[in-house]
Chains A and B, each alone.
Chain A
Amino acid sequence: MKLLDKIFKFNGGIQTNPKKDISTKNSIKCLPIPSELRLPLRQHIGNMPKLKVKVGDQVLKGELIAEADGNISAAIHAPTSGKIKSVEKLLIPHPSGLPDFCVTLIPDNKDQWIKKAPVNWKKLGIEKTIKLLLNSGIVGLGGAAFPSHLKLGNNRNSPINTLIINAAECEPYITCDDMLMRERGNDLIKGIKLVQSLLGAKQTIIGIEDNKPEAYKIISDLIIKESSVHIKVVPTIYPSGDAKRLIFLINGIKISKEKRSSEYGIQMFNVATIVAIYRFIVHGEASLSRIVTITGNIKEPRNYEVLFGTPLQSLIQDTGGQKIRNNTFIMGGPMMGFKLPSIDVSVTKTMNCVISAEPEMIEAKKEPLPCIRCAKCAEACPVLLQPQELFWFSKSDQFEKAQNYNLFDCIECGCCSYVCPSNIPLVQFYRYAKSEIIAQSIAKEEADIARERNDFRILRLEREKKERAERNAQRKAENTSEEKSKLIEEKRAEIAAAMNRIKDNEKIK
Chain B
Amino acid sequence: MLTSILIILFLAVIIGLVLGFSSVQFKVKGDPIIEKIDSILPQTQCGQCNYPGCKPYATAIAKGEADINQCPPGGEAGVRALAELMGVEYKPLNESHGTTKPKAIAFIDEDTCIGCTLCIQACPVDAILGAAKQMHTIIEKECTGCELCLPPCPVDCITMESIEENAENWKWKYPVYSISTSKTKVNH
Contact = CB atoms under 8 A, between A and B. Distances in A.
A434 B171 CA distance: 9
Contact of B175 (A92, A370, A429, A447): A429
A367 B177 contact: yes
A336 B147 CA distance: 43
Contacts of A115: none
Contacts of A42: 167-168
Nearest to A98: B167
A279 to B, nearest CB: 29
A439 interface: yes
Contact of A436 (B168, B171, B178, B179): B171
Contacts of B142: 449-450, 453
Given A100-B167, A425-B177, A454 B124 contact: yes
B171 A368 contact: no
Interface residues of A, number: 35
Interface string B135-146: 000000010100
Interface in A394-446: 425, 428-429, 431-432, 434-436, 439, 443, 446
B170 interface: yes
A454 B172 contact: no
B45 A454 contact: yes
Interface stretch (B22-30, B36-44, B89-97): B36-44
Contact of B126 (A95, A447, A448, A453): A453
Tell me which of A367, A368, A450 has the highest count of chain B C-beta atoms within 10 A of its own C-beta.
A450
B131 interface: no
Interface in A79-104: 92, 94-96, 98-100
Given A454-B43, A457-B124, A457-B126, A98 B175 contact: no
B168 A450 contact: no
Nearest to B177: A368
Contact of B172 (A367, A428, A448): A428
B172 A431 contact: yes
A441 B172 CA distance: 16
B53 interface: yes
Given A367-B177, A448-B43, A453-B142, A96 B53 contact: no
Contacts of B170: 94-96, 98, 435
Contacts of B38: 451
B3 interface: no
A434 B172 contact: yes
Contacts of B55: 451, 454-455
B125 A96 contact: no
B167 A435 contact: no
Contact of B125 (A366, A370, A443, A457): A457
A367 B45 CA distance: 46
Given A454-B45, A457-B124, A96 B167 contact: yes
Interface in A347-383: 366-370
A450 B171 contact: no
Contact of B144 (A95, A99, A369, A450): A450
A367 B175 contact: no
Interface in B134-184: 142, 144, 165-175, 177-180
The 7 closest A-B pairs by CB, nearest first: A367-B180, A447-B43, A96-B170, A431-B172, A450-B43, A435-B171, A453-B125
Interface of A: 42, 92, 94-96, 98-100, 366-370, 425, 428-429, 431-432, 434-436, 439, 443, 446-451, 453-458
Given A451-B38, A458-B53, 15 more contacts: A42-B168, A95-B170, A95-B172, A367-B180, A368-B180, A425-B175, A425-B177, A428-B175, A432-B173, A435-B172, A446-B144, A449-B142, A451-B54, A453-B126, A457-B124
